[in-house]
Amino acid sequence: MDSAVVLIEFGAVVLALGLLGRFAARLHFSPIPLYLLAGLLFGDGGIVPLGGSKDFIEVGAEIGVVLLLLMLGLEYTAGDLASHLRVHFSAGVLDFLLNALPGAGAALLLGWGPVAAVVLAGVTWVSSSGVIAKVLGDLRRLGNRETPVVLSILVLEDLSMAVYLPILTAVLAGSGWAAGGLTLAVALGAAGTVLLVAVRYGRVISRFISSDDPEKLLLVVLGLTLLVAGIAQELQVSAAVGAFLVGIALSGEVAEHTHHLLMPLRDLFAAVFFVFFGLSTDPGTIPPVLLPALGLALLTTLTKVATGYWAARRTGIGERGGWRAGGALVARGEFSIVIAGLAVTAGVESGVGPLATAYVLLLVVAGPLTARFAEPVGLYLRSLRAGRAPAPVLPDDPALPRPSAAVADIPAGGGTRAASDTAA
């Protein structure tokens, strides 16, 4: 491998990602679809295929997945997870039924078999915590009454990944029932142990890791995360779940300082991950699956809106808040691509990767739009059903509550460590 070629190609990719990110920020738009498109352009079948740097980018993509899940875990405490499970468990079950089953059904209708059905179920099930948190911040809704409901559903989805990903790993590896059951038992045992240790000894662990020197703190946390992720991968539990559990185990000032230290690294390697997924997809394979992806996107947009509306109304929130909660949950992103990426690496049905790419591209664009306009559209349709002239409704009603300064500072990572004390 020519090191000069690797440096030139990787430098060009990172520079392109930086420019795309700035362009997306000017449009108040998620950069994820632009990163995916960049990968399609640089990959096999694209305009400028990469040569020597693809293996290097693959390693960066794996680190990106680990950092995405670590940062997600840092946003939650074990107490948060327990309380969300108690209060919103039924909403989580409805979320799974309405949004995972369409993906599984689509795979079976396309004749891709049960393994692809398990993959597409996860792709259509999980919303994008990062995109949704950013959209809520942009719309100044972090202090609204329906926002804790939205965050609770996201927490339940993220926690469910600790069970789903080991199952998916076993299925993709072609393990039998015994091996698959053992993998799931190991994953659940690890998750339960980490949660127990986090509740009882989280402060002790955090004090042990804590350091006033940012360099030492960064090295210890990053090294620990990669070590645990690697061990989890070796046990067929998934590196992503291992990183997520490390994030949950850290608490207090250590979690806060680590979040700030790792955020630039997370953003860099996460962008590399999205590019690598695009590199693994031949653009010529997308047009044949574009129509199924569009149909699936339309169906699961409606089911996500229904999920959020029902969950919000169930907790006593008004109709407007219900529509806003439903519209906010539509965006898919990082987890959907992680799941599809595992399938592509395992060599599952060739159409899964292109379909997932097209699906995420559609919904990561549609998500901010549904978050903004679900409320006025829902009230308009209700007025039509009632047979009266619809009153004009602005998508951002100035009468809506605005977040306090504390809530406005919540990072756009989709977590609830900061939100749990203020969103109620």
pLDDT, tens digit (0-9, with 9 covering 90-100), for 403-417: 433 333 333 334 444
**Contact 392/67 with Cβ under 8 angstroms?**
no
The C-alpha angle with vertex 347 and arms to 226 and 66, in degrees rounded to 5, equals 15
Specify whether the backbone of 359 is left (phi greater than 0), alpha (psi in -120 to 50) or beta: alpha
Per the prediction, the chain carries an average pLDDT of 78
Tell me the two tokens of residue 81.
Answer: 């997870």
Cα 201–chain centre separation: 28
**Contact 119/375 with Cβ under 8 angstroms?**
no
**Contact 39/277 with Cβ under 8 angstroms?**
yes
- Pairwise CA distance, residues 162 & 247, whole Å: 13
Residue 206: what pLDDT?
A: 76
Tell me the two tokens of residue 311.
Answer: 């969950």
| 150-162 average pLDDT score | 80
Q: How confident is the model at residue 307 (pLDDT cuts 50, 70, 90)?
A: very high
Q: What is the CA radius of gyration of the chain?
A: 21
Residue 301: what pLDDT?
A: 96
**Contact 166/241 with Cβ under 8 angstroms?**
yes
Q: Is the pTM of this model over 0.85?
A: no
The residue type at 300: T
Q: How confident is the model at residue 82 (pLDDT cuts 50, 70, 90)?
A: low
pLDDT 10s digits, 230-256: 887 776 566 777 787 788 778 777 888
Contacts of 15 (CB under 8 A, 6+ apart): none
Four-residue CA torsion sign, 237, 254, 73, 274: negative
- Pairwise CA distance, residues 319 & 397, whole Å: 14
- Pairwise CA distance, residues 155 & 157, whole Å: 5
Among the listed residues 234, 224, 248, 227, the one whose alpha carbon sits nearest the alpha carbon of residue 158: 248
3-class state of residue 46 by DSSP? coil
Q: Running DSSP on this structure, what letter comes out for residue 96?
A: H
3-class state of residue 21 by DSSP? helix
pLDDT 10s digits, 263-296: 888 888 878 877 877 777 778 888 899 999 999 9
- Pairwise CA distance, residues 23 & 46, whole Å: 22
Residue 421: what pLDDT?
A: 33
Q: Running DSSP on this structure, what letter comes out for residue 238?
A: -
Asked if the model's pLDDT at residue 369 lies above 80, the reply is yes
Helices 147-172 and 334-346 sit at what angle, rounded to 10 degrees? 0
3-class state of residue 2 by DSSP? coil
Among the listed residues 268, 288, 16, 310, the one whose alpha carbon sits nearest the alpha carbon of residue 149: 310
Q: What is the 3-state secondary structure (H, E, C) of 123-176?
A: HHHCCCHHHHHHHHHHCCCCCCCCHHHHHHHHHHHHHHHHHHHHHHHHHHCCCC
Among the listed residues 203, 120, 200, 192, the one whose alpha carbon sits nearest the alpha carbon of residue 163: 192
CB count, 10 Å around CB of 67?
Answer: 25
**Contact 194/249 with Cβ under 8 angstroms?**
yes
| 340-363 average pLDDT score | 86
Asked if the model's pLDDT at residue 46 lies above 90, the reply is no
